[in-house]
Amino acid sequence: MSLRHSRSSLRSRTLTAHLLLLGVVVVWGTTFSLVKSALAETTPLMFNLLRMVLAFAVLAAVNWPSLRGVTRTDLKLGAAAGLFLGLGYQLQTSGLNHTTASKAAFITGLVVVIVPLLSVIPGVALPGALKPTPDTYAGAGLAFAGLVLLTTPPGVGVALFAGIGLGELLCLGCAVAFAAHLLMLARAAPIVSARRLGTLQIGFAAVVMLVTLPLGGRAYFHGTGMVWMALGVTAVLATAVAFTIQSWAQQHLPASHTALIFTLEPVFAWLTSLLFFGEQLGRRAMLGAGLILAGILLAELRPTSRGRSQLLPIAGA
């Protein structure tokens, strides 16, 4: 009876993990359209600052016992992770102001391809990590081709980047910043507890957003219902709750399952942008989006030094 009960409990936890992680990805996907709607009533950098301050307040209240006895090393690693996280969100939200929600989501998804490519740089690769495999480079090639098709109009000829606008470039910079953030987290995770690291990085990201706020021009904020709803969803659900659920769910799921679920995020972003904004992707853009998804999947299922898939979350807006 105990063995049967144990198997039943394991199946229940696995099913719960699948459903919760799928819910997280749905929330992350919908935030692209939600944030884009809110940007009609506030500047991108002001929205980010309020969002991160609120998220930090929630996490600090929940994880207060874990913050006691914070060391200098904890602060340094939390500050480094918060720096890249803050820059990533600043670039992403600013990019959303100049491009469609669906394009921003697919370009942000390139973070999974960029991480192994950054690892080639001396001093950046994690200790014991394998070098990028042929699958990694194939995924990068597919993703690059998809990026060109997604962001450039037909008939541009050899001027491949003629149609890439400011919004797309900012989102691409966001993907690089998020990739650096993930590499920093991988270095910090064995040293700092998850609760402490999660709270500290959000706090330092808020500081980054405060310092960079003047770069976005004259800041303004109109507290409409849409803006407050977007702040609540992104700060509480998409940040504080989502990262907590993700940390638990990945302990109970095979790496391949998690990778497939993460790959659905830009798909949900496209569906919600189609539903709320009527944003449609033409055949060329759809092909580009498909190539990006294929590239992400190839990169995310790459083997690691431990013979398992290295799971990299794709952050929502």
How far apart (Å, rounded) are the C-alpha atoms in residues 58 and 100? 30
Lowest mean pLDDT among 94-108, 114-128, 299-313: 299-313
| Separation in Å, CA 97 to CA 83, 197, 227 | 22, 30, 15
Contacts of 292 (CB under 8 A, 6+ apart): 106, 107, 109, 110, 142, 143, 146, 147, 150, 266
- Residue 2: its pLDDT value, please? 58
Contacts of 300 (CB under 8 A, 6+ apart): 112, 259, 262, 263, 309, 310, 311, 312
What is the separation of C-alpha 265 from the centre of its chain, rounded to a whole number of angstroms? 9
How far apart (Å, rounded) are the C-alpha atoms in residues 62 and 194? 13
- Residue 155: its pLDDT value, please? 57
Residue-wise pLDDT for 53-87, tens only, equals 999 999 999 888 888 889 999 999 999 999 999 99
What the block records as the tokens of 94 is 């600013």
| Separation in Å, CA 297 to CA 136, 213, 267 | 10, 35, 13
- The residue extents of the domains of the chain are 20-300
How far apart (Å, rounded) are the C-alpha atoms in residues 255 and 261? 10
- Tell which residue, 288, 18, 263, 6, has the closest CA to residue 168: 288
Lowest mean pLDDT among 164-178, 193-207, 254-268: 254-268
How far apart (Å, rounded) are the C-alpha atoms in residues 317 and 17? 22
pLDDT(308) > 70: no
Using DSSP, how many helices (H) and how many strands (E) does the chain show? 14, 0
> In sequence order, what E strands does the chain have?
none
What the block records as the tokens of 170 is 């900012």
Phi-psi region of 278 (alpha: psi -120 to 50; beta: other; left: phi over 0): left
88-116 mean pLDDT: 86
> H-type helices in 39-128, by residue range?
44-62, 64-67, 72-96, 101-108, 111-118
- Residue 299: its pLDDT value, please? 67
User: How many beta carbons lie within 10 A of that of residue 138, not counting itself?
Assistant: 14
| End-to-end Cα spacing for the chain | 46
Buried b (16+ CB within 10 A) or exposed e, 265-275: bbbbbbbbbee
Highest average pLDDT, of 157-166, 283-292, 304-313, comes from 283-292
For the chain, the maximum distance between any two Cα atoms, rounded to a whole number of angstroms, is: 68
Contacts of 186 (CB under 8 A, 6+ apart): 126
- Residue 285: its pLDDT value, please? 77
